[in-house]
Amino acid sequence: MMRRITILFISAFLFHSCAKEEDKTAQRFQGEALGTTYMVQYFSKKDLDFDNAMDSIMNAVNTSMSTYSTKSDISRINRGDTTVQVDEHFLKVFKASERIYKESNGFFDPTVGVLVNAYGFGPGKQLKEIDSISLDSLNKLVGFDKLGLRSNNTITKEDPSIYLDFNAIAKGYAIDMIGEYLESHKVRNYLIELGGELLAKGKNMENDSEWIVGIDDPMQEQGHRSLYAKVKLENSAMATSGNYRKYRVDSLTGQRFVHTVNPLTGKAERSNLLSASVLAENCMMADGYATAFMALGLERSKEMLGRIDGVEVYMIYSGENGEVKAYATPGFEKQLLE
């Protein structure tokens, strides 16, 4: 899967606040979860048992969908266990993945990991050489439509060796779960960040302003963080996907490009799309769409956007002469700060 881009919190300008004094005190938590870091900021008069709630949420996600845990449901399914009855968390992510798979015409595909690893783009073992025979063999293991869901919540696979990985959407789902916990305790103003994915509700009560976040500059030097854009996040989720730190430069044109795997052909293709940031109602869908757009590339992403609703996107890409450009849908454009 493609590397996630870290999104920074930006301090907003101070505004006069009419909120009660006790509402303006932020509760802040940060730590590690799902192999990455998280930061949560919320405003509440009550003291919430947030640490225990966070542990419970992460345990539920890991038990259901962690490929790093050999005892998780998804790991057992990947080993060919057909008796696993998946839980509500798995079902929600499975159905969301199926929806985006269909909407993207197969470019978002949680079974593509075997190809990603084969080309050396993922954490698994790279093949020394990919010929037509090995590619044909790998392609038989790729395709979300080769999976099925029985009425008793067990998963079917056309081939027992098909490997399922929800890494491109599970973090977003975990963020939504954290948001649901906060809202169940009547928290209306919060910002959640997990591995660069975000969910914001209400506003920053300390400044009496909207939440402001940033998108990394693709041309930033290693170890020096700079921003390409600042975004107002209002009752929305935002997820960013990209692999611009692995880009190559065309020696003739200067154009930057990355390699992405086409799940339909199994071949690695050049793409000038460096990152895609997505605004959506929930973080699970934003997470999945961001990955889909990176796999589709700039032009195919624009075509897909014409077929779906409720999604806004900001895509950074490399022009023909190597210049870095951005494309924003009208809804995303409205959320950008000068």
Every domain of the chain and the residues it spans: 65-168
Interval 270-302: pLDDT, tens: 889 999 999 999 999 999 999 999 999 999 999
65-168 is a CATH 3.40.50.1370 domain: no
Q: pLDDT above 70 covers what percent of the chain?
A: 86
Residue 168 annotated as binding?
yes
Beta bridge partners of 200: 191, 236
Helical H runs in the chain?
50-65, 73-78, 88-103, 113-118, 132-139, 167-184, 283-296, 298-305, 330-333
Reduced to 3 states (helix: H, G, I; strand: E, B; else coil), residue 302 is: helix
Residue 20 has pLDDT above 60, yes or no: no
Give me the DSSP letters along 311-338: -EEEEEEE-TTS-EEEEE-HHHHTTEE-
Residue 96 annotated as binding?
no
Mean pLDDT over all residues of the chain? Answer: 88
Interval 216-245: pLDDT, tens: 887 776 667 789 999 999 999 999 998 655
Residue 25 annotated as binding?
no
